[in-house]
Copies of this chain bind each other. A is one copy, B any other.
Amino acid sequence: MTQVPVIESKNLDLTFETADGPVAALKDVSLQIGAGEFVSFIGPSGCGKTTFLRCVAALEEPTGGSLTVNGMSPEEARKARAYGYVFQAAGLYPWRTIAKNIRLPLEIMGFSRAEQEERVNRVLELVDLAGFGGKYPWQLSGGMQQRASIARALSFDADILLMDEPFGALDEIVRDHLNEELLKLWARTGKTIGFVTHSIPEAVYLSTKIVVMSPRPGRITDVIESTLPQERPLDIRDTPEFLEIAHRVRDGLRAGHAYD
C-alpha cells in the first residue's frame, strides 16, 4: 500500500489557547495515509485523536507543521467537499426525517432533486435502512441512527471518510454488527477511512493501520500495520494473530497512559 498519500501530515502541532494557559493537543504528528487505507486512531481520552481528525477536516487550524489532503490544504479540501465526517453521536437533526437528514448535504451541495432522491435511496439501502426514510430519528434505535449518520456521510460520495468514535455510544453486540457492516462497505467502496476509537478489539478488527497515540502533548507512539487478512469474520478476534496485535496496541497504550 504505497500509493500517493491521500492525507499527509508533517510535524503537525496544535496548541489551544485557553483561560488556564496553552494546552498542547498535538505535537509533532507525522503520518501518511494512502488511498483505500483503513486507519484507526486509538489512545487514551484527551490524547488528540479528535483534534487530529478535525485538523484533517479543516475544522481546526493547526498551529504548526504541514498537512495536506488530496494534495490540497485541508481548507481547500473541505471546500472541495473531499470527505464525509461521522461524529461520535449520530447528530441527526431531529426535525428532519431520516431521508431528509441524508438529503441535507445534497441540498447544500446543490444536487438536483432527482439525484438527491436517487442517492438517498441508494445509501439507505447501503446501510440497510431502506423503508425507514420517512421515520424521525427518535423513532429509531441508537444503532439505526448511527447507520443513518454514516449514510449521510456517504451520500455525496467523497473519497475520504472520517469517523470519530462513531460507535462509542452503542452496546457491544450492536457494535460488533456495525463493525462487520462497515468492513463490508469499505471493501465495496474502496474509500480511505480515518477512524477514531477507544476500543482495542475494534481498532484491530477494522484497520489496515493502527495509530496509537499518547496524551499531553498528543503524539504518535506507535503505528502498527495490520497483518490480518482482508477477509475478516467476527471470530477472527479469537485468533492468536489478532490477539498479538491487540497486545501490541495495549502495550503501546499503557505506556503513554496516566490513568486519569
Contacts and interface: CB of A to CB of B under 8 A. Distances in A.
Interface stretch (A6-14, A28-36, A62-70, A167-175): A167-175
A144 interface: yes
B257 A44 contact: no
A173 B253 contact: yes
A247 B238 CA distance: 9
A78 interface: no
A200 B177 contact: no
A191 to B, nearest CB: 24
A144 B177 contact: no
Interface residues on A, range: 20 to 34
Interface in A106-164: 141-144
Contacts of A45: 141-142, 171, 174
Contacts of A144: 260
A254 interface: yes
Nearest to A165: B171
Interface in A173-226: 173-174, 177, 198-200
Contacts of A238: 243, 247
Interface string A227-260: 0000000000010000100010000011001011
Given A141-B260, A238-B247, 18 more contacts: A44-B171, A44-B173, A44-B174, A45-B141, A45-B171, A45-B174, A143-B259, A144-B260, A172-B198, A172-B199, A172-B200, A173-B254, A173-B257, A173-B259, A174-B259, A174-B260, A177-B259, A238-B243
Interface of A: 44-45, 141-144, 171-174, 177, 198-200, 238, 243, 247, 253-254, 257, 259-260
The 9 closest A-B pairs by CB, nearest first: A171-B198, A141-B260, A45-B171, A143-B260, A173-B257, A44-B173, A177-B259, A172-B198, A144-B260
